[in-house]
Amino acid sequence: MYNVIRKVHLYTGLVILVFLMMYFVSGYVLIHRPWFGGQAGKPDPATRTESLAGYTGPRTPDALAAYVSGHFALRGRLNVPPPDKQPKGAIRFSVFRPGTIHEIRIPHDDLETLTIRTTRENAAGLLVHLHRIHGYGDGSLYNAYVLFNDLASFSCILFALTGVYLWWKTAKRKIWGVLCLTASCAYGAGMVLYLLHTR
């Protein structure tokens, strides 16, 4: 049993290492972005106007988003806000991939013209984007990425539990480990209970 748990702890770590490191490093950049240059080095957004002449499909946000992203080769995940989040007087959606966001706006009073505003990120921004990809349903590669995300999340729980087992089985003097584990559990549980029950 000890060897099985040890191998699970080791091999899970080796497999998920790169993704886990990406998440912790990018998460650190996310919360301390000014330390990593902030917005410095970002190119200015580029805006261009394009024509929808020739489009004969429905003039709904979802249909237009699918057409525009394919026709103008805007690669990435589509994000079409629901009707209650659409601005008055225009249709708005975006196409996102790590490091690049295309924001598209089609005014209701001129449905033949659209503006595409492209924003590119610096290195810190790219890491933040990689950190924030969530949710299945945008093609096999994004699904694979999000699956790795899930595996990295699950591995945190697995490392913690298998790690405790391995320590318990190998430590000769357990007092220091017990103190560390008790402190961690008391603090974590205490924080959650405090936030749940305090006014």
Partner 1 sequence: MMVATMFQKTILNVHIYGGLLCFSYLIMFGISSLNFNHPLAFTRAKQEPTTWEHRVHLPDLPRPSATMTGERRVATKAAANHAVREALGLFGHQRPWAESWWDPEDPNHYHASLVRPGVEYEVDVFIDRELARVKETRTNAWMVMKGLHGFHGNMPGSAFVETWGWYTEFCTFVVVFASASGVYLWTRRKNERRVGFVLISAAATCSLALMLYLTLHG
14 binds partner 1 (CB under 8 A): yes
Write the binding mask 56 to 85 for partner 1: x where contact by CB under 8 A, - elsewhere. -------------------xxx--------
Give the torsion sign (CA, 108, 111, 113, 116). positive
The count of other CB atoms within 10 Å of the CB of residue 123 is 13
Under rule CB under 8 A, which residues in 148-167 are in contact with partner 1?
148-150, 152-157, 159-160, 163-164, 166-167
Longest dimension (CA), the chain: 77
Name the phi and psi angles at 137, rounded to 5: 110, 15
In a 13 Å sphere around the CA of 193, the CA atoms on its Cβ side amount to 6
Residue the block writes with tokens 């959650």: 192
Nearer to partner 1 by Cβ, of 2 and 11: the residue is: 11
35 binds partner 1 (CB under 8 A): no
Give the H or E element holding residue 199: none
Instruction: Report, in Å, the least distance between residue 55 CB and partner 1.
Output: 22
Under rule CB under 8 A, which residues in 101-140 are in contact with partner 1?
126, 130, 133-136
16 binds partner 1 (CB under 8 A): yes
95 binds partner 1 (CB under 8 A): yes
Nearer to partner 1 by Cβ, of 16 and 64: the residue is: 16
Among 2, 18, 87, 110, which residue interacts with partner 1 (rule: CB under 8 A)? 18
Which residues, 6+ apart, have CB-to-CB distance to 19 below 8 Å? 148, 149, 151, 152
